[in-house]
């Protein structure tokens, strides 16, 4: 696992691989976005450290099932949970790197299956939304094995499947899972030809529009494992940076090295070692 340690040290030291320029796509009919009542950060009269006042008028609000969240290890909203501090620490490190470069779209992936990338992405998005001057949009672009809806206990009538496959309004597919300043765009079923779809101008236009709609928004995009297919490579030009989640014992050293090689032209903000049985608890709390 020396390569993981090296990647972590490079991320801490601020080393940055070459960045592939973002592709530009023509989007004559950009998807609609959710209608929400909010204060404009550039014009509001409240002090700059005041919380963003978000009142959802179109986005469906679903109250979370505590048992479902606990079962799937979604704990970032529980500040008294002994492990929630880890996601807050990760959030701060990731946002600092993103702010340095003006990045707004973070992809979360892993070398192989069973690394816990969706759990990390979901907890991270919740933690980002807890910062009073941020909002977070969690998008499930693992079109082969979508699971964001499962870990959050969501079962919407309209999802990203309907947006991508039958032109449904993206506003109708968004859900607020009961956490302030967080919106989720879930995928409910696997999609045919996912790599081709992720490389399409339609997806490029969707991500660009959702990214640029609100200045305080951070997009967290849950992607498939890097080695599962070419899905991640297909959508990389549309994201700003990547967080690599490595599950302890889930990937071999060779698989981790190959995943890093495939991401060599992306801006990797860091590597998370997940499911580590030797992880130190937060002794302060």
Per-residue pLDDT tens for 97-117? 999 999 999 999 999 999 999
pLDDT at 207 over 70: yes
Distances in Å between the Cα of 71 and the Cα atoms of 77, 151, 179, 185, 248 are 14, 8, 18, 21, 20
Evaluate whether residue 44 is within a structural domain: no
Q: Is 137 within a domain?
A: yes
CB 198 within 8 A of CB 86: no
pLDDT in tens, 144-197: 999 999 999 999 999 999 999 999 999 999 999 999 999 999 999 999 999 999
Q: Is the pTM value of this prediction over 0.85?
A: no
- Measured CA to CA, the distance from residue 267 to residue 269 in angstroms comes to 6
Residue 239 resides in a domain: yes
| Number of separate domains in the chain | 1
Mean pLDDT of 190-210: 96
Residue 40 lies in a domain: no
Confidence bin at 275 (pLDDT 50/70/90): confident
Residue 257, domain extent: 2-14+54-274
Alpha carbons 35 and 60: distance in angstroms, whole number: 11
Neighbour count for residue 231 (Cβ, 10 Å):
23
CA–CA gap between residue 220 and residue 94 (Å, rounded): 11
> Under a CB-based contact definition with an 8 Å cutoff, are residues 142 and 223 in contact?
yes
122 found inside a domain = yes
Is 64 inside any structural domain?
yes
**DSSP of 23-78, one letter per residue?**
P----TTPPP---EEE--TTT--S-TTSPP-EEESSSEE----HHHHHHTT--TT-
Distances in whole angstroms, Cα of residue 204 to Cα of each of 34, 156, 196, 207, 234: 18, 24, 12, 5, 10
**Structure confidence by residue, pLDDT tens digits, 59-98:** 899 998 999 999 999 999 999 998 999 999 999 999 999 9
Average pLDDT, the chain: 84
Instruction: Work out the pLDDT band at 58, boundaries 50, 70, 90.
Output: confident
CB 116 within 8 A of CB 247: yes
**Whole-number pLDDT of residue 277:** 78
Asked whether residue 253 is domain-assigned, the answer is yes
Q: What is the CATH number of the domain that holds 253?
A: 3.40.50.300
Residue 70 inside a domain? The answer is yes
Phi, psi of 49 (to 5 degrees): -95, 10
């Amino acid at each position: 696992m020396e390569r993981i340690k090296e990647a972590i040290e490079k991320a801490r030291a601020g080393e940055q691989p070459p960045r592939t320029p973002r592709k530009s796509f023509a989007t004559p009919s950009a998807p609609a976005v959710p209608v929400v009542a909010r204060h404009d950060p550039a014009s509001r009269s409240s002090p700059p450290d005041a919380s963003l006042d978000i009142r959802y008028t179109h986005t469906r609000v679903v109250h979370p099932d505590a048992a479902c969240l606990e079962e799937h290890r979604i704990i970032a909203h529980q500040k008294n949970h002994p492990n929630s501090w880890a996601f807050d620490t990760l959030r701060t490190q990731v946002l600092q790197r993103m702010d340095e470069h003006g990045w707004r779209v973070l992809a979360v992936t892993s070398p192989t299956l069973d690394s816990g990338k969706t759990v990390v992405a979901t907890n991270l998005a919740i933690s980002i939304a807890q910062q009073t001057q941020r909002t977070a949009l969690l998008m499930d672009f693992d079109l082969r094995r979508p699971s964001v809806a499962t870990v959050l206990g969501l079962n919407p009538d309209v999802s990203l499947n309907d947006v991508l496959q039958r032109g449904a309004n993206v506003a109708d597919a968004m859900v607020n899972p009961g956490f302030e300043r967080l919106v989720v765009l879930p995928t409910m079923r696997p999609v045919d030809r996912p790599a081709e779809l992720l490389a399409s101008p339609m997806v490029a236009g969707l991500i660009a529009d959702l990214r640029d709609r609100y200045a305080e928004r951070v997009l967290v995009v849950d992607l498939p494992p890097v080695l599962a297919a070419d899905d991640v490579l297909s959508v990389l030009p549309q994201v700003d940076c990547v967080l690599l989640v490595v599950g302890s014992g889930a990937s071999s050293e060779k698989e981790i090295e190959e995943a890093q090689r495939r991401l060599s032209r992306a801006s990797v903000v860091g590597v998370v070692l997940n499911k580590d049985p030797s992880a130190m608890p937060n002794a302060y709390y």
